[in-house]
Structures are given as C-alpha cells and as structure tokens.
Amino acid sequence: MEFYGLVDGTEISLRKFLQTLSGVDQIGAEARAAMLATRSIKTSAKNWAIDLAISMVDLTTLEGADTPGKVRALCNKAVRPDSTDSSVPSVGAICVYNDMVAIAREHLDSIGGSHVPVAAVSTAFPSGRASMAVKIQDTQDALDAGATEIDMVIDRGAFLSGQFQVVFDEIAKIRTLCGTKAHLKVILETGELVTYDNVRTASFIAMLAGADFIKTSTGKVSPAATPPVVLVMLEAVRDFHQLTNHKIGVKAAGGIRTTKDAIKQLVLVNETVGSQWLSPSLFRIGASALLNDLLMQRMKARDGFYPSPSYVSID
Amino acid sequence: MTDFDYAPALESRSIVTIESEYGHFINGEFVKGANHFPTINPSNEEVLSQISLGGAQDIDRAVASARVAFESTWSKMPGKERGKYLYRIARIMQERSREFAVLESLDNGKPIRESRDIDIPLACAHFFYHAGWADKLEFAGVGSSPRPLGVAGQIIPWNFPLLMLAWKIAPALAAGNTVVLKPAETTSLTALLFAQVCQQAELPAGVVNIVTGDGRTGSALVDHPGIDKIAFTGSTQVGKAIARAIAPTKKKATLELGGKAANIVFDDAPVDECVEGIVNGIFFNQGHVCCAGSRLIVQESIAEEIVSQLKVRMSKIRVGDPLDKNTDLGAINSAEQLSKITALTKSGEDEGAMRWSPECALPKKGFWFAPTVFTGVTQAHRIAQEEIFGPVLSVLTFRTPQEAIEKANNTPYGLSAGVWSEKGSRIHWASQQLKAGVIWANTFNKFDPTSPFGGYKESGWGREGGSHGLTAYLKSAEEGGNNE
Amino acid sequence: MSDRIEVKKTYKLFIGGAFPRSESGRTYEVNDHKGDFLANPALASRKDLRDAVVIARTAHISWAKATAYNRGQILYRIAEMLEGRADQFASEISALDGISVKEALKEVHLSVDRLVWYAGWSDKLSALVGATNPVSGPYFNFSIPEPMGVVGAIATEKNSLLGFIDAIAPIIVSGNSVIVLASERAPLPAMSFAEVLATSDLPPGVCNILTGSKSELAPWFASHMDIDGLDITGVEHDLRADVKVAGAENLKRIHSFADGQSPARILSFMEVKTTWHPIGV
C-alpha cells in the first residue's frame, strides 16, 4: 500500500495526519532520558552491549580532506577493529561521501569485508541546499558506485518554513530511486529542528515517505544525538510500528564518543521500542572515535586492568 | 536476537555500619533504651537491628532536655549562628549521602535509585534552604521580630524517613525551636544516623532529640504538657486523633495526612510524557506516597490510547532488590501494609473493576506487590475513595473539563492533583478549580524546599516548605511569651 | 629567627577565572599603614575593563540559568574557602589598616558571616518580591525577580574586605556577573579574594576583580553601554553626579548604599518580570 495507506501523497492529507500526532513535553522527555541514563549495565550485560555496539557502528569519514588512502585505512579498521583479537565483530557499515564509495567497496571486498555494506551520504549532504536534480544525481552516483545504504538529508529550510509536502516529496523521490538496491536513511538534522515537537513531526514525515531508517544528524551540527532526541525518535518509530506493523530503524549519529554514551543509547532502545530493535538491521550508531573506546572497554573486561590508547590502532 | 538482560548491579552495603541495638538520642548523647523490637529489611525480612520502644519516661527526659536547650541556648543564640549549624548539618549529610541512601533502602525497601537521586538530595536541600532563613526571620512575614514557639514534638511516617525528618527538623531549628522527633516504628535507622550528624556538627545538646517507638510513644509525645507545637505526618485517622487530643490545650499543630489525588489527562496531553507522569505518580516509592496520583481521570476520547500505552510502559517496570541500581519498584514496607493493599485491591475486583498487572517475578521472601491498574473504575468504588498507599492505580473517565474537576474534587481529601494538557489556559483554569494544596501540571511528584506542600480538607492543616512552612514555627512578638 | 627569605606574592587582576596582568603593563605602589612598601598591584586600564565586560556577559548567561539552590551553595562554599584563609586576610588588613591581627580577624569573621547571609538569599528573593497579582480579569498574573546581567561595582575605601563582600555578593547571588574595582588604598584583600573565588565552584567570569585608579576607571564603568547596573558606593559624593550623567546614556541602574547588609543591595540589581496568562477551558 502506498505510504502505508495513511496519507495519499497530497499536502492536505499529510497535514491532516500530522495534526493527529500528540506533542512532546520537553521537560518530561528530558527527564525520561535522564532516568534511563541511570541504568547500571555491568559485567555480562556490559560485555554483550559492547560487542553489540561495535556491530552497530557506522564507521564514518566525511571530511573534505578524505583521500583513497584514508578510506582504505578506515575499511581495514572496519573489518578488523582489533588486529590482535579476532573475536571482535566487524562494524555495521562504512559511511563515506559518494565519490569514495567505489574505493571503499573495492577495498572491502579485497580484504574479506564483503559483508560490510558501504553507506553514502547524499542529497547535497550536509546542508541539503541544492536543486532536486543535483540531489538525484548525488544519489544515483552513490548507487552506481555500489552503495547499498543511502543517508540523505531532509530540507530543513523547507521544514522550518512549514513546507512539509516539499520535505515529503523529496524523500519519496529518493526512496523510489533507491528501489531495492539500497536502504534509505533519512537524516533529520535534529540540532537545526531544535524542538522535540519538530523532531517527532519530521520523523513521521520521513517514515510515511518511505524511510527505512531515521537518523538524527549529519554530525556537522551540535547538538546531535542527545538521549532525549533519540528517545523521541524511538517513540515515533514505536508509534509507527503500532500503526502499520512496519519496523523502521534509528541511527544515532554525532556526539556519541564513549562506551557509556553508546550503552545509554542501547538502554533507550531496549526500554522504548524493545529488544527486537537491538540489531544492526534496526539500530546504528554513526561515529568514529567511539570504536576505539569500545575496544578499550572490551580490553578492560577481557584482561581485568585498564588499557592505554597505545594498544588500539588509530585507524 | 536475545533480550538485553541487565546483570545485577548492586550498590554495596559495606558503606553502612548498623549496630545490633539502638537506644535513643537525648541531650546530645546516645542513651540506652529498653523494650527492644526488631526492625527488618522488608525486601527479604532480614533483621537489621533492635530498636527501643520509647516510653513515657524517655519522652519526658527528651522534652525536658529540649526545653532546657531552648531556654538556655537555642532561643538566645543569634540567628546567624543557628544558621551555621544548619549549614554544617546540610554539608555533612551531603558528604555522607551514599551512606544515608543505602541505609534508607535497606530499612524502607525503596529502590536505591530513588533514595540516592531523590530522598537524600532533597533532605540535604531542605537543611540548606532553611539554614538561610535562620538569620532572616524578620522577612518571613510574621512581623519584624518573630519568636520561636518553643519545643516542637514531631512525628514522622515510614514512607520517606529521612526526607520527612528534614521537612520537620530544618524549619523548626531555623526558627529557633528545639525538637523531639519520633521516627516511624519500621524505619528508625536513618534518623539515628542523623543523630550522629548532629554530633559531628557539634549541635548543642538537647536541640535535637530522637526517641524511637510506636504509636504509643507518639501519643506520649503529643500529650506531653511540655510541647508547644506538634508536627505530624501520617494517616488522616491519627491526625484526627491528634486534633482531638490537643483541643483543650494551647498547642499548635500542623498535620500532613492522606490523599487520593486525581491525575487528570485531557485529550491534548503530550502522550509519552503523560504516561511517564502517570507511572511516576502512582508507582514512585511503591505508591507509598500521600500525594500519589492514585486516580487517573482520563478524557474518554483518549482513554483507550492512554491505557494501552500505560500497560506497555508498566511492563517495563523492574521490580526487585532495592539495592540493585536498576530496580524501579521496591518492596512494600511491612506485612501490615501489604495486607492492607491486598485487601483493598481485592475489593476492587469484588466490586467489578478490571484488574491488570504485567507479568512480574516477585521474590519469595519479603513483602511484594506487582504494579496494578484497575480500569472501569467509578467514584462509587472503594478503590476510588480509600487511600490504598500502594502501587495500585484506578482509572476513571470524564467527558467534559467540568466533569473532570467534579470527579477530582469528589473526595474528603485534597492534598494534590495532576493536570495534563498542552493548553496553558486550561492548565490554569483547572488549577483554579481544583481543591488541592499541590497541583502538578504536565509533571508529577516534584518537591522542593521552596515550594509549599500541604492539603485542603482532610489532607491536613498547614504547609511545609517555603516561607509558608516556616511561619508555622514562629509567632509574632505581639503574640505573647512562650507557652502562654 | 630564621634567615629564610619569603617568597612574596605578585598581585594580578582576576578576569574570567584567570590571573592576567594589566594589558597596559602598569602597576602602582601600595604601602602599609606605616608607609612601608607592600606590593605593586596592577593598574588596570579601560581595555582590561572592556575585556572583563565581554567575559562577564558570557558568564552571566549560564550563571543566571543555574538553580537558586546551586548559586546559594556556591556562595556558601566561597564562605568556606574564606574561613579557611582567615589568618591570611587578617594579616593583610592588619598591615594596611594599622590594627592588630586580632582586631582584623573580627572583620574577616564578619565577612564570612556576611557571605553566608547573602548565600541564604538566593532562593528566598521570590518570597520577598515575587508575587501572583490578583488582576481584575480571568488571568493568571505573576511577577518574578530576575538578574539584570552585567553589573559594575566601585568598592568602598572603608573595610577593605567587608566592604568588598558587600559589593560583590549581593550582585552575584541573584545570577548577575560583576566587575568590581577594589579599594584603591587597600586592594590586597580583594586581590587575595580572587584566590578564594578560584578555589570555590564559582564559574569563571562571574566575578572579575580589577585594581587601579578610581578616577581613571569610574568614568569608563559609567559610560560602558554593555554594563547594566553600577554600584557607586565607593565613588566620592561630589563625583557621583558625573557618573550618573555618563550612565544615563544606556539608562544604567546606578545605586549607592550605606554600610551593612540589606536585601536592597540584591534587589537593586534585579528586574521584575510580570506575565499574564488567560485562565480558561
């Protein structure tokens, strides 16, 4: 059924639907996230969570200075995060700009990493300020180069000026372009949306238009994946599942630097949407520095003493 | 895909030292007591210690020492020096806060997360706030040179032992009174630890006295002629008995009694935060809360959605060892309380309401009750009228805002109420209409030393917190000498 | 008597939690009551003041957002730190004023207690000047006092420590940040107070301390367009009119106070905001 039978593609239908959404109380949402942050995850639970978090990391490099060398090094790290310990799982995906996709895909395949997907950021990432033609070309280039995940940005200018249908249509077009070649993550850039009400509304627009994942941020704007923002998005995903029986994934990207941060995210998932979402197919963490902190925590658990950064590779 | 099972995350008990036996704290010293009875950990029925049953003589000694301390030291001491004692107490409590939190959870049964994050910090804050009043009493609203009342007899309940102690002792001392405090029978340990803090703060002897015991000890205190003021928190029944007992005397009293608060949810409530507020309202502290939101009064058009989300949320409540940092719902404080809850809950079923609880593995030893919600409740049900004081929620519906207010006010109690709506004017309107001393809008169970707390009607007399609570311990210079 | 040479203190400014020298590089000589050399405190320039205002403005934003409880606790901790250094301050006051250390200690103890008194006000100001107002109409109307922003203070020449506390504590307890010009004659206790502040939990930039020439700097305090209020207790009476004329350019709230503690010192540097909200279904 197109758009899950909830909207028909017209602006009036979208507005009507959005009006049925309840609001979010800022203080209440932040209090709930803060309470969940007090969960104490120790011993066996912590070890399990660390390995799960590693498998959920979208290892990312999105710099103007990216080179083939840098990308290949990232791929090596992605497949074997700890060269001294083969029990460490590989990460969830590699995330790069579209002109690095081919390099990444080729290198991954050559080092035994064909199971690691390549995600490309798209639609004039990070700002999204370009013509639709450019955004489509951006996406097509990535798909042609072998990306099986597309992380697009929504048009925040359109959203903030109330042009929800414009936002919706762009997502629907990119979803159609992806077809069965790639899953689509829709980046809301929650730091620019500012209010939790906006995050909830944007989440629903994205899900209705065909997102497979909703993603918090580009990582270029702060604040990014704060616990209350992720909480609100998980609640939207939960509500959407209750309405449609369809599971949408969530990607938390930006500001998640330590194992503690990552585990807090997993707790949010667990107590909001439930353990079915505790899998890389439905939850991802966009990060770069996080991986080494996870590895160091893993070492501490394994060895019983505190490690030093000298014992994990920088790339 | 496996479930994310949280491994046990126990707070260590080793920070706490519990004596095998306690007496009383009178005139700055720990004195031997008699007629000991056991105090237990309600989560596993382990005996923690032996507590003294204070008798008339113990009360007499304590009141006499409070009187001497009042006349000779405390009422003569400049406010700024009194304030500095209170600051010391606040600081030491902050320093020893983990110790207090663990002890409170052991003795009361409440989750360590709540004692650590709510009870103890609030108790410290009460002392801090009132310390700052001690040298500013001329600004409290009782004239330019207010006087203390004298000796205060204070009786506190078992649901927030240390916090209730702070609510009583801090304003009394700030205003220049001395106190005799009787903690609840089942939860005396943090009060006795507090006595140690008084010693560490070098509080002059006799300013704070603690006599442990049961209802009879409390009666002896209420009836003692040497008391000028009574402060009581507990059941409405006992509150009425106190009111009768002091009627022929000149004793002043504040009473903080029971409640059957309505938590009103309008159709434009922010749903997730509202559900969280409902859960917090009735399951926080196992529902052993006088201001608990025990009646959910939800607009009929949104009732199904709210109740269904509520049940989903309730299934995530973690019931278990109070010392586990991940526990949300701890033990019921006593066998006696458990049987009251059980009996009233059964009446709900008998009277035709529909009972639901999530699946819950309850420990075999100790006193436990699963979080429970009744739907199809109306005002005619016992469970909508009587205070259960447990983790049991009754759900009623309403059609119009006026009906919601009428149902909310349809009770002899009037302690608190909740209102959920995204419309500001509606919140203010509801607040204006509700006959309750504390109204929470889009939140619940929020407490602060600056925020007056107390009820209308049979929920009690007077307020605690803010300048409103402070003035209950003062009289104007014109009101005459002490004990007149 | 040992031949040990004392490591003498260098007195610098206190701006943004750091101890810079004056950007002008200037100092001036301060002598004890007998005329003997004591120290060369910095002679602050208008640029030091300018920099301090920028820092104070940023610091005010988060300080005003701190809870009243938190601010009260921090002021109490400042008192704790001062109590711990009582002897240090007493010897400075004794040298400057020519009184015995025992006498000087009285001023220090009074200063600690004064700080504690102000600390206790942070969460009680609303009880004094906050209100809900029974307007004639279906409106919920409430007034709350708020800090005004960045406040300057010219400290009195009397009581180099107690007068200094009276200048800064009532300003910051409500959430303002302050730039204070210490007593010109006896700036040492104010400068040492910077050490007390640096070891309390007061966020950097909330209290900034300048030393120097009152006649040089007071006009710059008065004319600065990003200073919201000014305590001119330390300005000589015949110069106050000029200060007020300069301050009129941005309608600075300018006040002077008699000795002693008073909630007026706090409230004079606050604004009151009144909000109306309809009451209706």
Burial annotation C80-103 (CB, 10 A radius, 16+ → b, else e) = bbbbebeebbbebbbbbbebeeee
List CB contacts (< 8 A) between C267 and chain B.
none
Residue A84 lies in a domain: no
Q: What is the dihedral of CA C217, C220, C224, C228, to 10 degrees?
A: 40
Tell me if chain B has a CB within 8 Å of the CB of C260: no
Question: Can you read off the two tokens belonging to residue B257?
Answer: 């009694």
pLDDT at C80 over 80: yes
Mean pLDDT of chain A: 97
What pLDDT shows up at residue A315?
85
User: What's the pLDDT tens digit per position in A90-126?
Assistant: 999 999 999 999 999 999 999 999 999 999 999 999 9
Residues 6 or more apart whose CB falls under 8 angstroms from that of A70 comprise A61, A63, A315
Q: How many CA atoms lie within 13 A of C15 on its CB side?
A: 22
Number of domains in chain A: 1
Residue of A nearest to B272 (CA): A24
- Chain CA centroid to CA C246, Å: 21
Verify whether the Cβ–Cβ distance A24 to B1 is below 8 Å: no
Verify whether the Cβ–Cβ distance B1 to A266 is below 8 Å: no
CB atoms within 10 A of CB A29: 23
Residues 6 or more apart whose CB falls under 8 angstroms from that of A104 comprise A71, A72, A74, A75, A94, A96, A118
Catalytic residue numbers of A, as ranges: 151, 215, 251
Best of B89, B133, B439 to mutate (most C CBs within 10 Å, chain C): B133
Residue type, C243: V
List CB contacts (< 8 A) between B112 and chain A.
none
List CB contacts (< 8 A) between B139 and chain C.
124, 127-128, 263
The contact set of A with B (CB < 8 A) is 22-25, 27-29, 31-32, 38-46, 48-49, 235, 266-267, 270-271, 275-276, 278-279
Residues 6 or more apart whose CB falls under 8 angstroms from that of B388 comprise B287, B294, B340, B341, B344, B345
Query: Is B406 among the catalytic positions?
Result: no
Angstrom distance (rounded) from CA A196 to CA A204: 12
Largest pairwise CA distance in chain C: 84
pLDDT at C123 over 80: yes
Helical axes B97-108 vs B161-174, angle rounded to 10°: 130
Residue A13 lies in a domain: yes
What are the Cα distances from residue A223, in Å, to A191, A233, A260, B277, B363? 5, 15, 18, 26, 43
Residue of B226, B214, B230 whose CA lies nearest to B63: B226
CATH says B13-257+458-479 is which class?
A: alpha beta
Residues 6 or more apart whose CB falls under 8 angstroms from that of A179 comprise none
Instruction: Give the pLDDT band of residue A295 (cuts 50, 70, 90).
Output: very high
Measured in angstroms, the CA of B466 and the nearest CA of chain C are apart by 8
Whole-prediction pTM: 0.95
What pLDDT shows up at residue C25?
97
Best of C78, C121, C123 to mutate (most B CBs within 10 Å, chain B): C123
Residue A311 lies in a domain: no
What pLDDT shows up at residue B480?
59
Verify whether the Cβ–Cβ distance C120 to B135 is below 8 Å: yes
- Point out which residues pair with A209 in neighbouring strands: none
Tell me if chain B has a CB within 8 Å of the CB of C123: yes
Q: Residue A123 sits in which domain range?
A: 2-39+96-102+116-283
3-state SS assignment for residue B205: coil
Tell me the pLDDT of chain B (484 aa) as tens digits: 468 999 999 999 999 999 999 999 999 999 999 999 999 999 999 999 999 999 999 999 999 999 999 999 999 999 999 999 999 999 999 999 999 999 999 999 999 999 999 999 999 999 999 999 999 999 999 999 999 999 999 999 999 999 999 999 999 999 999 999 999 999 999 999 999 999 999 999 999 999 999 999 999 999 999 999 999 999 999 999 999 999 999 999 999 999 999 999 999 999 999 999 999 999 999 999 999 999 999 999 999 999 999 999 999 999 999 999 999 999 999 999 999 999 999 999 999 999 999 999 999 999 999 999 999 999 999 999 999 999 999 999 999 999 999 999 999 999 999 999 999 999 999 999 999 999 999 999 999 999 999 999 999 999 999 999 999 999 998 885 544 3
CB B205 within 8 A of CB B179: no
Q: Locate the domains of chain B by residue range.
A: 13-257+458-479, 262-449
Residues 6 or more apart whose CB falls under 8 angstroms from that of B239 comprise B232, B255, B257, B458, B460
List CB contacts (< 8 A) between B316 and chain A.
271
CB A46 within 8 A of CB A288: no
Angstrom distance (rounded) from CA A52 to CA A297: 13
In CATH, the number for domain B262-449 is 3.40.309.10
3-state SS assignment for residue C55: helix
What pLDDT shows up at residue B483?
41
Verify whether the Cβ–Cβ distance A24 to B270 is below 8 Å: yes
Chains contacting A (3 or more CB pairs within 8 Å): B
Residue A251 lies in a domain: yes
List CB contacts (< 8 A) between A279 and chain B.
1
Verify whether the Cβ–Cβ distance B7 to A39 is below 8 Å: no
Pairs of CB atoms within 8 A across A/B: 72
What pLDDT shows up at residue B3?
85
Pairs of CB atoms within 8 A across B/C: 68
Question: Can you read off the two tokens belonging to residue B203?
Answer: 């509080």
Give burial (CB, 10 Å; 0-12/13-18/19+) of C177.
buried
Q: How many CA atoms lie within 13 A of A258 on its CB side?
A: 3
Angstrom distance (rounded) from CA A256 to CA A286: 8
- Chain CA centroid to CA C97, Å: 21
Residue A31 lies in a domain: yes
Residue A62 lies in a domain: no
CB C190 within 8 A of CB C211: yes
CATH of the domain at A152: 3.20.20.70
Give burial (CB, 10 Å; 0-12/13-18/19+) of A17.
middle
Of the candidates B139, B425, B426, the beta carbon closest to that of C128 is on: B139
Chains contacting C (3 or more CB pairs within 8 Å): B
DSSP letter assigned to residue B138:
G
Verify whether the Cβ–Cβ distance B4 to A23 is below 8 Å: no
What pLDDT shows up at residue B479?
80
List CB contacts (< 8 A) between A27 and chain B.
273, 442-443
DSSP letter assigned to residue B135:
T
Angstrom distance (rounded) from CA B254 to CA B229: 8
pLDDT at C30 over 70: yes
List CB contacts (< 8 A) between C140 and chain B.
428
Question: Can you read off the two tokens belonging to residue B123?
Answer: 């108790």
Query: Is B81 among the catalytic positions?
Result: no
Strands C139-147 and C131-132: antiparallel
Best of B273, B306, B426, B442 to mutate (most A CBs within 10 Å, chain A): B273
What pLDDT shows up at residue C256?
97
Verify whether the Cβ–Cβ distance A266 to B2 is below 8 Å: no
